[in-house]
Structure 1
C-alpha cells in the first residue's frame, strides 16, 4: 500500500473534516508502515484500498491475497491507547477480541485482521432472535470479570479513568467548561449535584469494583460466529469505569429491535456471571439502575475527550444533551 497506489475515499457526512490523511507526509508514512507490516506477515495486497475518514479516526480496508482483507486504524490523541489496549486484551481474553497484526503505540496506529461478519449485518440480513443478544452479553460479562485483575495495567496503557468515585468531580468539570449553556440547564444541574454524589457513593459501595468498560458496545462493534460467539472490537471509547455502564448501549439497541420487554431478560443474563461474588440479584439490579443513569456522564466525558476542541456552541450542545440523560429514569 505504497503512496502511489490509488485508493477509494469515503468521507461519509464529514466532507469538510480535516484528518491526518490530508497531510502528505503523514499519509506517506502511514501507507509505508502498512505495506511493511503486511509484508512482514507474508501477505500481499490484492486490490484497491478503501479509506474511511471520520473526525475520530482514519480506517483503511486493505484487500490481501488469500486472507480477505486487513484493517489499518489511526486513532486521535484521545484514543491513542486503543492499539496497545487491544493487544493486551488479546493476551488476556483471546477468545473475545481481535489480535492485532501490528501496533505503533506512539503514533496510535494498528493493523488488524478481518473479524468476519458484523453482528449488525446479520441483523439486517435475516431474522435474529433476542437469544443472540443474550449470548453476546453473557460472553461480554464473562470477559469483563476475567479482565478485572488487570485493571491497573490497562490504566498504565493510557486507558482514561471515569471511576465511580471520580464522577462528581468530572460532572463539575463539564459544567464549569460550559457544557450547560443555558441558565435553566445550569439551575437543573446545580440541583442535581447532591443526588448525583449520592448515586455515585451508593454505586461505589455496591460491591462491584470499577473495571474496563467498552463504552459503545453496539451491534456495529461486534463480529459474530454463528450468532453464538462474539468478538468485540473498536475499543477507542473504553475507560476504567463501573463495568455495568457497558449495559446501557446494547440493551437500548436490542429493545429498539425487539421491544422493551426484552430489556429485563438481557439485564439478568448479563448479571448472571456477577452473582458468583455473593451479591444478591436485587443488589445487582439496583447497581444496574445506578450505572445506567450515570453512564450518561461517562459518555459526555468520552465525547469531550475524543473532541477536545469542541468548545463551540455545537460541541457544548452535544455534551449537554448527554448530561440531560441523567434526569431520565432508567427503564430497568
Structure 2
C-alpha cells in the first residue's frame, strides 16, 4: 500500500476492537480512494497519515501540501448515511456545516475539510464561557428550524426515523432487544411506558415539527474557529425526531463544566428560534422536560451503530442499558 509505512494508528481504549482497518485490502482501497479524490482536486499528500480507529468509525488525518489537513472518515453500515447527510446539509444549511470534498455513499466513506479549532479545545484554553454555549445552541436550533421542510428528504437519504409519534415503539424495541438489563430494571422500565407515551403526546400537542436531531452534540462535535461562529459535524448518531431531544447532551456537558445553574440559560437560548407560531415561552419551556427524558432513547439507539465486528454484544448492550435508564433522571429544570 502506498502509505502503509507512513501511518500512525491511535486505538484509544479500544485495542481489541476489530474494524475494517484490520483488512489490508480495505486499507488499500480506502487510501487509494482518498488519494484519487485528492488528485482530482489538485491536492497532494505531504506527511504522515494519522489514523484513529474506534468501534464506530475509522478517521484519518491527511496532511496536504497546500492548506490545512483533510479528513477521511469511514462509517459502519448503520451510519453510512452520514456522508450523504453531510453533503445534503452543505446544500441546505451551508453556514452551519462542513462541505465534503467527496462522498462514497455505498462504502460509507467521506473526505472532509478541516473545520478549525474544536470547541472543546477553545474551552480548555478558557477562551469561551457559558455565553458561547448559548450562541451555539441558538445557531443549532436555527439550523433545525431551517431543516423542518426537508425532514422526509433526509430520511430518504437513510437517516433513521425516530419521529415523536414512533418513540414508544422505539422504546419497546430497545427494551426487548437489550440483554444487559436486570429483571428489576426491565420491570421498572416497562412500568414507565405509560409515562413515556404521555411525554410523547405532550410534545406532539405543542405542534413543534420533527426535524434533524444530532443526538450527540457535545463540545467535541463542533468547531469554534472564531467568536460567534460554530460548525456542526459528526452526524453518525443523528435521527429525524423531536428537535428538543437534542438539548440533553449539550446541556449535560455544559453543566459539567460550568455548573447546573447554566442549564436554564441554555434552554432559553435554544428555544429562541422556536418562539412564535402561537406558542408561548412557558409552553416551550414545559416541553423541554419530556424531550430531555426522551433524548435518552436516541443515545440508546446509537449504540447499535458500530462496525459489526468491533466489540462484543455485552458491552454494546451495557452502554445502551445505561442510556435507557436515563429515562428516570429528573431534568434539572
TM-score tier, shorter chain, comes to: over 0.9
Question: Is 2:77–2:307's contact at 8 Å kept on the other side of the alignment?
Answer: no
Question: Is 1:3–1:27's contact at 8 Å kept on the other side of the alignment?
Answer: no
Question: Is 2:71–2:113's contact at 8 Å kept on the other side of the alignment?
Answer: yes
Question: Is 1:214–1:235's contact at 8 Å kept on the other side of the alignment?
Answer: yes
Per the alignment, do residues 10 and 307 of structure 1 end up closer, same or farther by CA in structure 2, a change over 3 Å counting? closer
Deviation at 1:201, TM superposition (A): 1.4
Provide the residue aligned with 2:32 in structure 1: 32
Deviation at 1:312, TM superposition (A): 3.8
Report which stretch shifted further, 316-325 or 102-111.
316-325
Q: Distance in 2 between matches of 1:121 and 1:109?
A: 26
Provide the residue aligned with 2:55 in structure 1: 55
Q: Distance in 1 between matches of 2:19 and 2:30?
A: 13
Q: Which runs of 4+ in 1 moved over 6 A?
A: 307-311
Bigger RCO of structures 1 and 2 (CA < 8 A, at least 6 apart) = 2
Provide the residue aligned with 1:149 in structure 2: 149
Deviation at 1:126, TM superposition (A): 2.4
SS of 2:117's equivalent in the other structure is coil
Provide the residue aligned with 2:278 in structure 1: 278
Question: Is 1:3–1:32's contact at 8 Å kept on the other side of the alignment?
Answer: no
Q: Distance in 2 between matches of 1:60 and 1:171?
A: 35
Provide the residue aligned with 2:166 in structure 1: 166
Q: Distance in 1 between matches of 2:281 and 2:31?
A: 51
Provide the residue aligned with 2:206 in structure 1: 206
Deviation at 1:90, TM superposition (A): 0.2
SS of 1:26's equivalent in the other structure is helix
Deviation at 1:261, TM superposition (A): 1.1
Provide the residue aligned with 2:187 in structure 1: 187
Provide the residue aligned with 1:318 in structure 2: 319
Report which stretch shifted further, 299-308 or 246-255.
299-308
SS of 2:267's equivalent in the other structure is helix
Per the alignment, do residues 30 and 312 of structure 1 end up closer, same or farther by CA in structure 2, a change over 3 Å counting? closer
SS of 2:194's equivalent in the other structure is helix
Does residue 252 (structure 1) correspond to residue 246 (structure 2)? The answer is no
What are the equivalent positions in structure 2 for 1:4-83 lying under 5 Å apart?
4-83=4-83
Which blocks of at least 5 consecutive residues in structure 1 are unaligned?
none
Per the alignment, do residues 184 and 4 of structure 1 end up closer, same or farther by CA in structure 2, a change over 3 Å counting? closer
Q: Distance in 2 between matches of 1:21 and 1:235?
A: 21
Question: Cα RMSD over matched residues?
Answer: 1.6
Question: Is 2:57–2:306's contact at 8 Å kept on the other side of the alignment?
Answer: no
Q: Report the number of matched residues.
A: 332
Deviation at 1:194, TM superposition (A): 1.1
Which blocks of at least 5 consecutive residues in structure 2 are unaligned?
none
Deviation at 1:181, TM superposition (A): 2.8
Does residue 87 (structure 1) correspond to residue 93 (structure 2)? The answer is no
Per the alignment, do residues 161 and 118 of structure 1 end up closer, same or farther by CA in structure 2, a change over 3 Å counting? same
Question: Is 2:138–2:269's contact at 8 Å kept on the other side of the alignment?
Answer: yes
Question: Is 1:179–1:319's contact at 8 Å kept on the other side of the alignment?
Answer: no
